[in-house]
Amino acid sequence: MDKQYHMIDYIHQAGDALHSTLVENEFSIQSLVELANKQGIERLVLSGIGSSFTAARIAEPLLHMHSVLPVYIIPATDIVLYTGRLINEKALVVMVSRSGERNWVVEGLKTSIQQGAIGVAMTGVSGSLLAQTAQIELITREGDEITFPKTKSVITCAGLMMRLGLELSGPDDTTAGIHLAALRALPDMINRTVEVTEPQIRDRMKFIKDHKILAVSGTGSNYGAALESAVKVQEAAYIPTLTDNTGNLLHGALGPLNKDWLITPLVGEWDLELTRELLTLVGKFGAHRMPISAPGIDFGKYAEEVIYIPDAIDPLLAGLIYLLPMQLMTYYWTLAVGRNPDAPDAMGVILDAILPPGRSEP
């Protein structure tokens, strides 16, 4: 029997972690939006690096749909480029970092506050450098996550950003309440998704494991999930991964494709025809195809294998569901190539480069 690492436990805890995060931050989210309205805030800036940045990309479509404030998602390393223009006293700046110890994120929040912005830390660690720097804290409630590749904390951060976007909706927004109810129902859906897709992933590892390159794509919230999937697969399994919006991948550089490539679009009813076009073209180059799909879609000649999630989901929220099978695939693929999913070989070198002197990953 395979040794069970922490990473798989954390994937199984994602639904409960999201539920706790939403419930325990409800008052803080409402208070933050009241403060932003009182101070005449004109824009929302979300920032982070790595998986914190891709979490913002997962939340981005819902934020654009519902927030009355224009939303800007900026890498923490680029914050300095926008000081005085986007980053000023009219900005609400939310810096996202699970550990709260990333140097660029902490410095980005300091810079934002110096420019007069409301500076918010969204982190899982209340005593972190980021939390100490912030004027306001939003603490995610995933609990311990001592693995280098983060899983449940990506879900909690993306879900909490979605909740902020819904609280920023205007009085005439007739669909915000529908999406809020759907967001609150996601923890149970996440649990079902893990339960249903994990055996599918395990059963297909013989097909998956020998591929040398992966390409993941999606639309809507699934584009952010594809970006995050590439981070995870490369962090843990060391499989080079190409990622893009499905339409861009279809019209992009597909010439290098061959049998060593596995193409995994994250597909729902809303982008089915686009995905079928992509899969048809990919098949002509000899690459293998394994979409992760909404239930009830027959891919027939378009795919060699399919992973089915159990429930249909709105494209604005989809990334929080489709990310789960990608996290599971990362875990089992990492085991299949003989690596430790909790502590990849390069972890120490990377952390030494990105943490401030004297600080450690909590």
Phi, psi values for residue 263, rounded to 5°: -105, 120
Q: Could you say which of 166, 187, 208 is where a domain stops? A: 187
Do 196 and 314 lie in a common domain?
Answer: yes
C-alpha–C-alpha distance, residues 95 and 76, integer Å = 8
Q: Is the pLDDT of residue 1 over 50?
A: no
Do 250 and 332 lie in a common domain?
Answer: yes
pLDDT number for residue 2: 58
Do 120 and 229 lie in a common domain?
Answer: no
- Look at residue 349 and tell me if it is in a domain: no
pLDDT number for residue 57: 98
Q: Tell me the Ramachandran region of residue 116: left when phi exceeds 0, alpha when psi lies from -120 to 50, beta otherwise.
A: left
- Look at residue 344 and tell me if it is in a domain: no
CATH code (residue 101) = 3.40.50.10490
Do 98 and 52 lie in a common domain?
Answer: yes
Do 172 and 205 lie in a common domain?
Answer: no
Percent of the chain with pLDDT over 90: 88
- Look at residue 54 and tell me if it is in a domain: yes
The HSE-up count of residue 200 (CA atoms within 13 Å, CB side) is 18
Q: Is the pLDDT of residue 347 over 70?
A: no
pLDDT number for residue 252: 82
Q: What is the pLDDT of residues 101-110, one digit of tens each?
A: 888 999 999 9
Domain hosting residue 75, numbered range: 6-187
The tally of domains found in the chain comes to 2
Q: What is the pLDDT of residues 110-163, one digit of tens each?
A: 999 999 999 999 999 999 999 999 999 999 999 999 998 999 999 999 999 999
Do 180 and 259 lie in a common domain?
Answer: no
Contact (CB, 8 A) for 101 and 127: no
Do 153 and 242 lie in a common domain?
Answer: no
Q: Could you say which of 162, 187, 212 is where a domain stops? A: 187
Written as six digits, the tokens of 43 are 């824009």
Q: 87-91, 298-302, 342-346 — which is least confidently predicted?
A: 342-346
Written as six digits, the tokens of 273 are 């025809």
Contact (CB, 8 A) for 179 and 317: yes
pLDDT number for residue 348: 58
pLDDT number for residue 344: 73
Quote the radius of gyration of the chain (alpha carbons, Å).
Answer: 20
pLDDT number for residue 84: 86
Written as six digits, the tokens of 107 are 């410095």
Alpha carbon 75 to chain centroid, angstroms: 14
- Look at residue 354 and tell me if it is in a domain: no
Report the mean per-residue pLDDT for the chain.
Answer: 94
Give the pLDDT mean for 322-334: 98
pLDDT number for residue 280: 96
